[in-house]
Homo-oligomer: A and B are copies of this chain.
C-alpha cells in the first residue's frame, strides 16, 4: 500500500486508528484458551468486529514470537485474515547490518506481505536503507517514542544543540521520502509534537501511547493532524481488553468505534 492508498483507506474508513494486536495470554478473555490457538481465535474475533472502525492493524511480533514457532503461524494467518483494505504493520523494531536488514525486509515485506515495518535507527544508514528499497512499503523508524526511556538517549542533546531524536529524524528523512518513511512519535510527547510536525509536513507519523500509556488523543490530533491526516493513532490494550467476558469483541468494537468517531470529529473540526 502506498501513501495515496493509505490516505484513501483512511478517508473510506473515516478512521486513522491502527489497532494494535498485542495478544497477552494473561489477559485473554474467558473461554479463550491460553495458547497459540486461543490467540488466533481471539485476534480473529477482534479483527472481524473492529475492522469497520479502523484503517490499519499493527501486529506486535513479540507477542507472537513468545509462543514459539507456532506463534509465527498465527502471525501469518492473521496478516492474511486482515482485509486488504487495511494497512498492516509489523511492529517488530528490527535493524541490523545491511545484509541482515535485507533479510528482515524480505521477511516482513515479502514472506508476510506486511505494508509497514517498525525499525530501530541506532546502527545507521546501512541498517535502514535495505528497507527503503521495497516499493509501496513503509519503513517506520523510531523517532521520539512514547515510553519513559525516551529520556535516556532520544532526548539527549548533541553538541550542535539538536536532540538525538531530531538528528535521527533529519538524517533518516534524507535517506527516503514521505512515500516510504514514517516516524514513530509517542502520544505522550505532547509538548514536542507541534514542532516535529512543522519540520515534516508531508510525513506520516505512527503514534502509540494513547490510552494505557497516558497520551491524549485530542492533543495529538491538534498537534499533528494534517489535511491528508498524516498520523496513524495506534491503540491496543484499551481495545483488546475492553471486556473479559465471552462476548469481549462487542466491547472492543464499541471502544474502537468511539475512538474513531472521536478522531473523525477532531479531524472535521480542524479541516
Contact = CB atoms under 8 A, between A and B. Distances in A.
A95 B153 CA distance: 14
A261 interface: no
Contact of A123 (B71, B97, B103, B142): B142
A219 to B, nearest CB: 19
B107 A66 contact: yes
A111 B25 CA distance: 14
Interface in A62-101: 62-63, 65-73, 75-76, 91, 93-101
Contacts of A151: 124
A159 B145 CA distance: 21
Interface stretch (A8-16, A164-172, A250-258): A164-172
A148 B125 contact: yes
A60 interface: yes
Interface residues of A, number: 63
A22 interface: yes
Contacts of A126: 147-149
Q: How many copies does the complex hold?
A: 2
A22 to B, nearest CB: 7
A127 to B, nearest CB: 5
Contacts of A179: none
Interface string A130-174: 000000000000100111111111101111010010011001000
Nearest to A72: B69
Across the A-B interface, the 3 shortest Cβ-Cβ residue pairs: A124-B149, A124-B152, A62-B103
Interface of A: 22, 24, 60, 62-63, 65-73, 75-76, 91, 93-101, 103-104, 106-107, 111-112, 120-128, 142, 145-154, 156-159, 161, 164, 167-168, 171, 208, 213
27 contacts: A62-B94, A63-B103, A65-B103, A65-B104, A65-B111, A66-B104, A66-B111, A68-B72, A69-B69, A69-B73, A71-B72, A93-B94, A95-B120, A97-B146, A120-B122, A122-B122, A123-B147, A123-B149, A123-B153, A124-B150, A124-B151, A124-B154, A127-B149, A152-B171, A156-B164, A156-B167, A158-B164
